[in-house]
Amino acid sequence: MKIGLLSDIHANRPALEAVLDDMPTVDLLVCLGDIVGYNPFPAECVEMVRHECDVVLQGNHDREVTNPERYDNNRQARAGLKYAQRELQDEQIEYLLALPTQQEIGEFLAVHSHPTNLDEYVFPKDFPKMRPYLEDHDGIFLGHTHLQHEAVIDDRLIVNPGSVGQPRDGTAARYAVVDADTHEISVYSTEYAIQEVTREIKRTGLPDATAERLTPEDRGRRRDRNPWR
């Protein structure tokens, strides 16, 4: 069985469309959460995920969609959630709030961030610390850091497919495919219409920094800033 992995779409419809078009045929498509937040297409992304994905988890932005003040120290995150709250229908918000935070997929465990601490970042350097959670599973799928990375630890897999809608390791939209039978991991990236997103960010009044974070020229300027704020 081939499993497609998406994560951290963050209301970026052009990026999600590009990933879905680029992805090879899979048997199961899994979204690891953070469908909304930051970018200007929350309703469209919710509907696309509901239609396309077989398993959908709740990310921290999905969980806080009715509580933007949770990110008072992060102007971009707060503004993105306030915008999502305005744009989403009540039924779409209820859908996000009802999503599970983790799910077993065969012998694999899928989570958004950390298996027991919902807001903890598991960076690539932290993958070996996941050994206790690998004891009962063939592998873990996770997102949250927006960094694409995969590893084999004690013959078990850990895969972060990277971010579809706000990658922090380049500008291309990221995703992954795992063969559950052979344990082969394939990571992918695909270009998308960034300018379409940045124009809509400006039109809707979302922070300029949200648009800048997506663009190639911004990578050099932001090297000394904290990209997880």
Q: What is the CATH number of the domain that holds 113?
A: 3.60.21.10
Structural domain boundaries, residue 155: 2-221
Distances in Å between the alpha carbon of 130 and those of 19, 46, 178, 181? 28, 30, 18, 22
Whether 228 is covered by a domain: the verdict is no
CA proximity to 165, closest of 31, 2, 6, 10: 10
Give the global pTM.
0.94
C-alpha–C-alpha distance, residues 93 and 65, integer Å: 7
Contacts of 111 (CB under 8 A, 6+ apart): 32, 57, 101, 102, 140, 141, 142
Q: What is the pLDDT of residue 229?
A: 44
Q: Which of 133, 44, 61 is nearest to 97 (CA)?
A: 61
Residue 127 placed within a domain: yes
What local confidence, expressed as pLDDT, does residue 218 receive? 53
Number of separate domains in the chain: 1
* Pairing relationship of beta strands 28-31 and 2-6 according to DSSP bridges: parallel
pLDDT at 214: 95
| 10-residue averages of pLDDT along the chain (229 residues) | 98 98 98 98 98 98 96 94 97 98 97 95 97 96 98 97 96 98 97 97 97 74 44
What is the bridge-based pairing of β-strands 149-153 and 156-160?
Answer: antiparallel
